[in-house]
Amino acid sequence: MTLHQLSEAVGSIVSEKYADKRVTRVAPLESADGNSLAFLADDRYLKHLRSTRAGAVLLRERHAGACPVPTLVVDNPHAAFARAANLLHPPKRPAAGVHASAVVAPNATVDPEAHIGAQAVVGEGCRIGPGAVVGPGCVLLEDVILEADVRLVARVTVGAGCLIGARSLVHPGAVIGADGFGLAQDRGHWIKVPQLGRVVIGEDVEIGANSTIDRGALEDTVIDDGVKIDNLVQVAHNVKIGAHTAIAGCVGIAGSVEIGAHCTLGGGVGVAGHLRLADGVHVTGMSLVARSLDEPGAYSSSMPAQPMRHWQRNAARFRHLDEMARSVARLERQYKREDGD
C-alpha cells in the first residue's frame, strides 16, 4: 500500500513528498527495512527510532523530528499500527464450501459463502452464516447459530443452542456452551442441576485458545459486543460481560457474576460468584475479587514477589495479626482513659 492509502485508512498525516512510497509489511523499529512500516508508542524505544531503516514510522507529532525516515503522524500510534497491520496482513480465508470429510446434518443450513473444514461436525438445525469459517475438527452440536464472518479456527466445540455474533473469532480448543458447575447437596450426595440456558456471544468478540464459557443454568451466559478474552480463561454459568471488556489469561470468573463495559481483568484474576463489577473497573493481575466493585477505577489485592526470608517473616507475623489488633485496641482505650484524666 502507498503511504497515502495508509494515511487515509488510519487517519494520519503524511508529507506529499512521500505519498506514493509503498510498504508491504509491518516490522519492529530495530529490524524494519525500507519495505516495512513500524511504529513508536513508548519513549523507551526512541533509541531505535533514531537509527531505524523502516520505510515509514507511525508516531506522535512530538517524535517526528527525531525520525530519519518518512512519518505518519497520529494521536494513537499503537491503534493506528493495529489497523495498518490488518490491512497489510489480512487473514487468509479458506474457499467457500464443505470439505469432503466434514459431517453436516441434513437439516443444517450452511450459507454458500461459508466454509466447513476437514472433519468438522455441524449438528441438527445449525445455521451457518455467510463468510463464516468452521475450521478443521470443530464440533457444533444442535441448533448452533454462527452469524456472518464468524471464524472458528480449529477444534472449537460449541454446545447446543449457542449463538456467536458476526465477525467473532474463536481460537483452537475453546469450548463454548459446556454445562456449568451446577450441583445441589442432599445428605452428602451431589445432584446435578440441569443447565438449560445458552451462551450468547455478541459481535466482534475474540475468545482465546482453550478458554471455556459455560452455558447458563436457567438464563443465558452473555458476552457482549467487542469483548476480548485471552487464553485459558474460565467463564462460569450465567456470567454477563459488558461490551469491550478485555480479560487476560488464566482468569477465573465464578457463576452469576456481572462485569460492566470497558473493564479490564489482568492475568490470573479470580472473581467470586454473584458479584457485580461496574463499568470501567480495572483489576490488576493475580488479584482476588471477593466483593462487588461499584465504582470505576483500578483495584489490586495481590502481594508482589519478595525474597523468601521476608515472606516467611511476614507470614509468621500475619498469624498474630488478630492478637496484635486486640493489643492496639487495648492500648488505645488505655491512652484515652489516661488522656481523659
Residues assigned a catalytic role: 237
**3-state SS, residue 141:** coil
- What is the layout of strands, in order, in the sheet containing 297-299? 97-98, 115-116, 133-134, 151-152, 169-170, 206-207, 228-229, 246-247, 264-265, 281-283, 297-299
- b (16+ CB within 10 A) / e for 283-292: bbebbebeee
Grid cell for residue 90: 489480512
**Terminus-to-terminus CA distance in the chain, angstroms?**
85
Write the DSSP symbol of residue 39.
E
CB 150 within 8 A of CB 132: yes
Q: Cα separation of 54 and 103, whole Å? A: 48
Strands 183-186 and 189-192: antiparallel
Q: Cα separation of 201 and 182, whole Å? A: 21
**Burial level of 164, CB count in 10 A (0-12/13-18/19+)?**
buried
CB 286 within 8 A of CB 299: no
| Alpha-helical regions (H) of the chain | 3-10, 46-51, 77-88, 308-318, 321-340
Q: Assign 3-state DSSP to the chain and report helix, strand, coil percentages, each to 5.
A: 20, 25, 55
Nearby residues of 121 by Cβ (< 8 Å), 6 or more positions away: 102, 103, 104, 138, 139, 140
CB 96 within 8 A of CB 36: no
